[in-house]
Structure 1
C-alpha cells in the first residue's frame, strides 16, 4: 500500500506540527535549555578528527543534550534531514548544488579538493577537461561529493568518465593514483599525510575545481536545540582554518 499524493502532503504537514509540539514541550520542561537527543550528520570528507571537537563543544555548552554523530555522505544526510532522523548536518556541496529551501542552511567555509596523479604525469600534460576524459579514474561511490562533481562536470560536456576503481577509502585512492592506476580527486589535507605523498603529483586543469562548499543545514522545527547551531558553526570554522595551517 502507498499513500496518495494528498496523503503524502498531510503526512509532511503532520511531521511539521509534531516537531513544533516537541519543540514547545522542550522549551517548557527545561526553561529553553537545549536537551534530549541531538542527532548530527557529518560528511566523511571533512575527516574523522572533526568529530572530537564537535562532541566537546556540544557536551561543554549543553550538558542536557545527548549528541550522536553519524558520518555519512551528503546526499544521505539530506535525505535524513528531510525525514527528520537527524537534527542537523554538516555537508559538502559543489558550487550551485545547494541544499533545498525547506531547510535552514548556510555556507560556513570551503574544503579544497585537488586533482592528483602519479609523478609520471608531466606538468602541463593535462590542460583541459577534455584531456581528463581520456584518462582512467579512481573514484568514490556515486554518493561521494567528489564523484558527484566529476559525473556532473563530464556529463555537462558530453564526455565519458572512465572509471578503473571505485572505492570509498581515500587512502586507497591516493595509493592507486601514486601507482599510476588513474587520477583521483581528494581533499587537499589528505595528500601530505599520505604514505604515497612523494609519488603523487598535484595537477592543475583550467575550469576544473572540485573544491566543496561546507554547509550547515538543519530543520526549521528544532526548537531550543537551534541554540547549538552557532557553536557548531564556530567549531567547524576553526577546524577548517586548522586544516589550512
Structure 2
C-alpha cells in the first residue's frame, strides 16, 4: 500500500479546521481540490476517512488515526525546515500575522520592514483580526502569529499555543478640552458621558474595572472600537474615554487633553503562536524576534508618565 504523505497533511488540515471548505485556505487549495485529495487518499488506503453527512463531515476512526499521522508529519517537516535553516542560514516561507490597528501600525509594520531587510525570503501577510475569531484562526492554522492585547490574568492562553511578551501599554483617561476643566479624580467624571469600547474590548473591561474600584457607573454615551475614532469623538466634546498610551504615541490630537488620573493599569501586548513539539518554525521564530525588537523600539515612545493636562490658564 502506497500512501502519499501530502494527502495525510490534507486530512490533518481537514481535521484541524473542521471541514473541507474551512481547510482549503490553510492549504492554499480550492475546496474541490481538497475533496479530490481526500478521495484519492481513500482509494489508496481502501477505507473511508470522512463520514459525509448533509450537515458536514466528520472523521471516521481510520480518518482520526491517519490525521494524527499527518500531524506528526507536519511536525517533522517543521523540524526539517529548522535544520536546513541552521545549516544554510536562510529562513524562508510564508507567515501570516494577525493584529489590531494600533499593533499593526506600531509593531507589525516595523517588524515586516526588518524582515524584508534581514530575511527577504520570508513572505509576510498581515491581516486585521482580533478577538475570538483571531484565536480560532490561530489555533486552526490559518494565522501563524497573533498579536493579542489583554489585562493581566484576564484572558487565558488557549491550549496548544505559546505567548511571548512584546510591550506593556498603560491606560490613559482623556477628556475634551472644551470641557474647560481638569478632572482630579473619577468622582469629577461620574456625571459625564463616556465613549466606551464594545463589551469584549480591553478598554471596556478596563473602564468597568475602574468604575467598580471608584464606585461610579459610567454613562456610556457612545460605543466605538478604533482609537482614532474614539479620539475624534473626544475632540468633538462628546465624552471622556480610556485609551492605551500607544494610541497617543504620536501626540495628543487637537481638542483632546490627558488627565492626571493614576493607577489605571494597562494592557499587555503579546505575540502568540501555535506550540510545536520541536518549537516554532524558523520563519515564525524570526518573525516573533522582529516583533520583539519593534516592541523594544516602541517602548520609549509610549508615554510612561502623564501627558500634560488641559490648562484653564496659560503656563507661566
Q: TM over 0.5, yes or no? A: yes
Are the aligned partners of 1:127 and 1:204 in contact in 2 as well (CA < 8 Å)?
A: no
Contact 2:166–2:291 (CA under 8 A) maintained in structure 1? no
Which residue number in structure 2 is paired with residue 113 of structure 1? Answer: 171
Q: Determine the C-alpha separation between the residues in 1 that align with 2:106 and 2:83.
A: 36
**Alignment of structure 1 residues 1-245 onto 2, 5 Å:** 1=55, 14=68, 16-17=71-72, 19-27=74-82, 33-46=90-103, 48-100=105-157, 102-119=160-177, 120=179, 122-124=181-183, 126-127=185-186, 134-151=191-208, 154=211, 160-191=217-248, 193-196=251-254, 199-205=255-261, 207-209=263-265, 211-221=266-276, 222-228=280-286, 229-244=288-303
Residues 47, 223 of structure 1: alpha-carbon distance in 2 compared, 3 angstrom cutoff: closer
The answer (yes or no) to whether the contact 2:171–2:264 under 8 Å persists in 1 is no
5+ residue gaps, structure 2? 1-54, 305-316
SS in 1 for 2:243: strand
Q: Would you say how many aligned residue pairs link Structure 1 and Structure 2?
A: 236
CA–CA distance in 1 between the matches of 2:181 and 2:153? 32
TM-superposed deviation, 1:155: 6.9
| Aligned counterparts of 1:19 and 1:153: Cα–Cα separation in 2 | 46
RMSD (CA atoms): 3.6
Structure 1, gaps ≥5 residues long: none
> CA–CA distance in 1 between the matches of 2:192 and 2:124?
43
Distance 1:200 1:71 in 2: 27
Q: State the SS of the aligned residue for 1:69.
A: strand
- Further displaced range: 17-26 or 172-181: 17-26
Change (3 A) 1:202 1:123: same
**Quick one: distance in 2 between partners of 1:219 and 1:29?**
21
Kept in 2, the 8 Å contact 1:138–1:184? The answer is: yes
Which protein shows a greater Rg?
Answer: 2
**Alpha-carbon spacing, 1:236–1:16, altered in 2? closer, same or farther (3 Å):** farther
Instruction: Verify the 8 A CA contact 1:57 1:232 in the aligned structure 2.
Output: no
